[in-house]
Amino acid sequence: MKINLKSGIDKLLFGMKQNDVTAVLGKPDKNYKDEDDNVIFVYNAHKIRLTFYEEEDLKLGYLVASSNDLEVFGFKLIGRKIADVKKDFAAKGITKYNQETFDTFENYFNEDNWFILQTEFDEVVKFEIGAIINNKDEFDWKFPVKK
């Protein structure tokens, strides 16, 4: 599954509606609402969780994935040492991270591309990516709106 920074993962693009996603991935294994009334789809086989923002007309705005097939710029993420992954990103000009620690987990947040690399025991275990907010303070949706 190819990560498209600022756009989504594989054929999943920020701004898609639930029916657009089910047309691509089929029916989710789980479908529920979170505490903010956002709709969450879970696909076990793809190891991915999708969030459709309630306040944004239920558009896809956030993805959390942990599949071993995840790749960006041709390199894999999951199961690799964070130092090696950061080196690969640095070669593409991505070098700034805010780092937070929670118990045995560490999060490396890159604000420019709105993604988080989550590690445990120095290895990347999860990748999160959100829709970008533009300079007008609005979401920069990537999925074309149907007229």
- The span from the CA of 61 to the CA of 4, in Å, is 14
**Short-list 46, 57, 56, CA closest to 24:** 46
Q: With respect to residue 48, please indicate whether it lies within any of the assigned structural domains.
A: yes
* Pair 71, 53: CB distance under 8 Å: no
pLDDT confidence band for 145 (50 / 70 / 90): confident
- pLDDT at residue number 140: 94
146 found inside a domain = no
User: Is it the case that residue 46 has pLDDT exceeding 90?
Assistant: yes
40 found inside a domain? yes
**What confidence tier does 48 reach under pLDDT thresholds 50, 70, 90?**
very high
Domain range for 44:
1-137
Q: The CATH number of the domain where 120 resides is what?
A: 2.60.460
- pTM value is 0.95
Domain membership of residue 145 (yes or no) is no
Amino acid at 94: I
Q: In this structure, is residue 106 part of a structural domain?
A: yes
Is it the case that residue 147 has pLDDT exceeding 60? no
**Which whole number is the average pLDDT over 49-73?**
97
DSSP secondary structure string for all residues of 46-65: TTEEEEEEGGGTTEEEEEEE
User: Nearest 10 degrees: CA dihedral of 48, 112, 61, 115?
Assistant: 20
Structural domains counted in the chain:
1
Cα 115–chain centre separation: 7
Q: Does the residue 4 lie in any domain?
A: yes
- Percent of the chain surpassing pLDDT 70: 99
**Which strands make up the sheet holding 123-130, listed edge to edge?**
30-33, 39-43, 48-53, 59-65, 123-130, 115-120, 105-110, 98-102
